[in-house]
Structure 1
Amino acid sequence: MSHISALTAWLILAAEVGAVFIILTTAHDPLTVNVGFSVLAGITTWSAIPALSAIFIKAGLKGMDLSKKSKQILPESMGMVAGLIYLVTMFVFIPFPFMRWFTASRDGDPQELTQLTFPNLKLAEILSALLSIQSMVFLGFADDVLDIRWRFKMPLPAIASIPLLMVYWVNSGVTYIVVPIPLRPILGQLINLGALYYVYMALVAIFCTHSINIMAGINGVEVGQSLVIACSIAFNDMLFLHSSTSNAPAFETHLFSLYFIMPFIGVSVALLIHNWYPSKVFIGDTYCYFAGMTFAVVGILAHYSKTLLLFFLPQIFNFLLSSPQLFRLVPCPRHRVPRYNRGTNLMEPSRVVLDQDGLDEDMAWRSAHPALHSNDHGKQMQHRNGMHGRLASSALLPPTSTDAAADASLTPPSPSFLGRPSSPTPSKSRYTPMLNPHLTRPGWYCIKILETLGLTEVRYDSRTGQRPLEITNLTILNVILLKAGPLSERNLTISVMLVQLVCSLLAFFIRYRLVTFVYDVVS
């Protein structure tokens, strides 16, 4: 073991020396220097996380991994370590993109100094981007420590993006969008959105930050999806650098994007090593905020926010799927992560109870009538449809008062062993979801639509076959488990990363192939 540790230490030292050598010998090439700094940032993050874990636990930043048989205490908020090392790396890197102006001042060539005007706006872009990222790292850590409520932390990314938007206004302030070809006869070629464009960019910052945060809860999934998105952005930037001349505006903007993405990839790889199953650390909301704002920064200042959103297709799907719960149309528990089954050591879809009283009564009814509830799901459905054939013609309609009365007539009194006396026939409100205080009429329609699409699994009252008692939580993690069956935590994370990768490939196909049918040129 000591031999392996010594070998690892020598490899780390060699990598650090190589990175420093690259930085010193290629100081004139900012991109190569940036790659060297990215390697250093990754190595430093990988080394610092174990060293700081005990300090975080001692400070009370710790939690228990509930998806394991052994309830081990792990340090939380380790995304702060990755975020701080990233910021320090970027601070040290700031002079290198401007090395040409520094060397001209040192040589004192009057003619060259006259021709070179220091790019103050470029420096302002870098500083404003770092200020926004730094703000989100701080706010993310504050959320981990103080557990800020959603209503307060929702607008925080928009506030942190104000420096970005100010520099965008000073630098170019372009607020028009190109209209797709099919709509040009109606809307024209360009539409100037004015102030609405800044609202759109603020919303991009909010979405990028919170969409990663709500698609979380298992080892490695937050860092894994962020790493795939970051690599997709870097590859897209390299395509532009390869196809553009050094004087083209797109070349400079995508070079700016690479400056910020490469160190992010470095620290994320190091963090993923420690956060991979079985995780040794928890990353906390700090990393989610840090990652989301980094993506928003490059999307806004590098002028490809629409392409950025294409890389967020899984997060967009997850947001739309989660909307009924996020907007309280359907009950939303505090945690919607998949449920860990200690017996099988697998992750299963978690559920939210819509009617606890009805669920208790249904369990008692199942116990009293085991013959009607065999393991043969087809027989259960046949029995249900035989008793309630009307559901076939009104699957998307809430039950009416007539239906409720019919259901009530078929429902026996509550068994005495429930701990309460037998009750008379339940009232209409017990069988009409729209009157259930935990389920609104729009929520009822959302459940039926998602059930029809196979995106959620609904458990109905066995006595009526109509009254929804519980559903699987509306997240992409639960959908994967519904489609693939129970998975180990590691395989579930891999599945999410594969979905993210497939969606990134789809995004490239849309961006570089299908776009020609909508716009004149790829821009």
Structure 2
Amino acid sequence: MSLFSLTKYGIAPVSLYLVLRPLLPAAQGPLPALSASLGFAGLALSATSTLIPLTGEAFKKAGFQGKDLLKKNGPTIPECAGLICASVYCLLLILFIPYPFSDVFAKCKHASLEGLACGDFPHNQLATYLAAILCLLIATLLGFLDDVFDIRWRHKLPIPLIAAIPLLLVYYAENGPTDVVIPIPLRHWLGSVIDLGPVYYLYMALLSTFTTNSINILAGMNGIEVGQALVIAVSVALNDLLYLPWSFRFKIGSLELGGVYGAGLSHGSELLVERHLFSLYLMLPLIGVCAGLLRYNWYPARVFPGDTFCYFTGMAFAVVGINGHFSKTLLLFFVPQIFNFILSCPQLFGLVPCPRHRLPKIHPENSKLLIPSLAEFEEEKPTPKLTELVLNVLSLLGLVRLTYGPVQKHQSNGSNGHSNPKKTPKRITSTTNLTLPNVLLCTFGPMSERTLVKLVMVLQITGTVLAFALRYGLARLLYDGDRR
């Protein structure tokens, strides 16, 4: 039996204990719902790892199958495994609903109440949690429709806006803040705080669109979608842990962590602790399902996650970033995705030809290596000046490789009606596709798919380290006071 199998089956009893432990009155400890969430994360790992291989043939019979485009003569592989992950994830979040409110149930049990409900029940927290689950369910449905109908990129970009509607309405109903603190260098012109009003809701809607599509754009290789989602989820969870009231104290330089509502980054704020606990309740099970899927999606992949996975994971990140009020910190964890999205914009918005698949292509002389794929321009149409300008700038930055060829200009010959070609140089005939993997191949040369994905994961982890350094180190240069 492999180490992964031992982990998969050995973690289930421990997870069940953590889930049932808060239900035992004598075993109540600090943050009981958090220990239950950790148990649900273990169950998510076990359930996903068990169900994915069992349902592979069923997906293939239903038509959800495809060939690995980066392997020569590769086998047919089941697709849409993200539907299994999303189903397990949403089911566990629904089962987890009573745990964050267990203390309220205990108070109501021992109080003499009149009426049908406890007067101090946190309805706003329950509404936020239920809205989050509804957003995830809608995102899962829309992602599955994308897997079924294979929606074009220009049409799928605004789809996540639909899934974000419940979240935005709950945020509005709770009078969520729409003001932002202005960085010190800009306060001379804009003041210390500015209320964005409806623009802030537009920002939140666009955030949900970005987090969903950015993972989907940086996709197509074994393990890359699941790997980046796992790294981001772990990063968000680590950030949340810094705000929790631990029963011990320790110092990192001048920063003191730990202590019940008295130290650490929560700085005595119970509201901050509740926000980051909410984030952890969503991130821990997400880490579990991502870890379970990565086992079967890593090179060589035995299943493909499909668009469903990208939709529901991206929406999960948007939900915690918006409800936890740390959307700027969340975006710092998406630095590779932001770079890839900005780089892809000329193709996504029609300046540069955008083929159906922008994956790297197999090396013609060595099928184990990958080289940058190309987007070719039509010979009959001249390249627009704006397109040439954008590509030339990207070429100067070393982000693309351009191929030039002659421009055919035909002038009519009055004597015989034939045309005489006149050739002019410097016409762009093709460019490497505008994605991060192709940039890495242009920079470091041909490499295997496994090595390329590992390099992307190294960049993702490096981005996380830089994000923490910027958020908790350099932020004081732009903001005064304690920016927690």
Shorter-normalised TM range: 0.7 to 0.9
| Percent identity (aligned) | 46
Alignment match, 1:135: 138
Shift of 1:446: 0.4
Give the Cα–Cα distance (whole angstroms) in 2 for the partners of residues 187 and 456 of structure 1: 38
RMSD of the TM alignment (CA)? Answer: 2.1
User: Comparing 157-166 with 80-89, which one deviates more in the overlay?
Assistant: 157-166
1:451 is matched by which residue type in structure 2? Answer: S
Give the Cα–Cα distance (whole angstroms) in 2 for the partners of residues 155 and 320 of structure 1: 16
> Deviation digits for residues 373-425 of structure 1, max 9, x if unmatched?
xxxxxxxxxxxxxxxxxxxxxxxxxxxxxxxxxxxxxxxxxxxxxxxxxxxxx
2:108 is matched by which residue type in structure 1? Answer: S
Alignment match, 1:340: 362
Q: SS state of the match for residue 429, structure 2?
A: strand
Q: Structure 1 or 2: larger helix share?
A: 1
Q: SS state of the match for residue 77, structure 1?
A: coil
- 1:44-55 alignment, distance < 5 Å: 44-55=47-58
Task: Call closer, same or farther: CA 1:12–1:499 in 2, change over 3 Å.
Answer: closer
> Deviation digits for residues 424-443 of structure 1, max 9, x if unmatched?
xxxxxx7xxxxx34x32110
Alignment match, 2:10: 14
Task: Call closer, same or farther: CA 1:245–1:110 in 2, change over 3 Å.
Answer: farther
Alignment match, 1:515: 475
Task: Call closer, same or farther: CA 1:245–1:96 in 2, change over 3 Å.
Answer: farther
Alignment match, 1:56: 59
Pair 1:248 & 2:270 matched: yes
Give the Cα–Cα distance (whole angstroms) in 1 for the partners of residues 364 and 22 of structure 2: 54
Give the TM-score normalised by structure 2: 0.87
Pair 1:75 & 2:93 matched: no
Give the Cα–Cα distance (whole angstroms) in 1 for the partners of residues 226 and 51 of structure 2: 17
Task: Call closer, same or farther: CA 1:168–1:98 in 2, change over 3 Å.
Answer: same
Segments of structure 2 that go 5 or more residues without pairing to the other structure are 245-257, 259-263, 407-422
User: Comparing 272-281 with 324-333, which one deviates more in the overlay?
Assistant: 324-333
> Deviation digits for residues 251-295 of structure 1, max 9, x if unmatched?
110110000000000000000110000000011110011111000
Q: SS state of the match for residue 519, structure 1?
A: coil
The one of 158, 169, 178 equivalent to 2:172 is 169
Residues 65, 73 of structure 1: 8 Å contact kept: yes
Task: Call closer, same or farther: CA 1:305–1:471 in 2, change over 3 Å.
Answer: same
Give the Cα–Cα distance (whole angstroms) in 2 for the partners of residues 9 and 485 of structure 1: 37
> Deviation digits for residues 123-164 of structure 1, max 9, x if unmatched?
000000010011011110110011123343222211111111
Shift of 1:13: 3.8
The one of 466, 469, 474 equivalent to 2:434 is 474
Residues 8, 49 of structure 2: 8 Å contact kept: no
Pair 1:445 & 2:389 matched: yes
> Deviation digits for residues 192-215 of structure 1, max 9, x if unmatched?
111110000000000111111111
User: Comparing 170-179 with 128-137, which one deviates more in the overlay?
Assistant: 170-179
Alignment match, 2:248: none
Alignment match, 1:199: 202
Shift of 1:509: 1.0
Give the Cα–Cα distance (whole angstroms) in 1 for the partners of residues 372 and 13 of structure 2: 47
Residues 235, 333 of structure 2: 8 Å contact kept: yes
Residues 30, 96 of structure 1: 8 Å contact kept: yes
Give the Cα–Cα distance (whole angstroms) in 2 for the partners of residues 277 and 445 of structure 1: 38
Pair 1:322 & 2:344 matched: yes
The one of 26, 31, 36 equivalent to 2:22 is 26
The one of 67, 91, 94 equivalent to 2:94 is 91
User: Comparing 7-16 with 206-215, which one deviates more in the overlay?
Assistant: 7-16
2:286 is matched by which residue type in structure 1? Answer: F
Shift of 1:504: 1.1
Q: SS state of the match for residue 242, structure 2?
A: helix
Segments of structure 1 that go 5 or more residues without pairing to the other structure are 358-429, 431-435
Q: Structure 1 or 2: larger strand share?
A: 2
Give the Cα–Cα distance (whole angstroms) in 1 for the partners of residues 475 and 269 of structure 2: 25
The one of 266, 273, 286 equivalent to 2:288 is 266
Task: Call closer, same or farther: CA 1:341–1:306 in 2, change over 3 Å.
Answer: same
Alignment match, 2:247: none
Shift of 1:25: 1.8
Give the Cα–Cα distance (whole angstroms) in 1 for the partners of residues 389 and 8 of structure 2: 57
Rg larger for: 1
- 1:350-429 alignment, distance < 5 Å: 350-355=373-378, 357=379
Shift of 1:173: 2.1
Shift of 1:169: 1.2
Give the TM-score normalised by structure 1: 0.80
Alignment match, 1:388: none
Shift of 1:11: 5.3
1:287 is matched by which residue type in structure 2? Answer: F
Task: Call closer, same or farther: CA 1:311–1:104 in 2, change over 3 Å.
Answer: same
Give the Cα–Cα distance (whole angstroms) in 1 for the partners of residues 5 and 284 of structure 2: 24
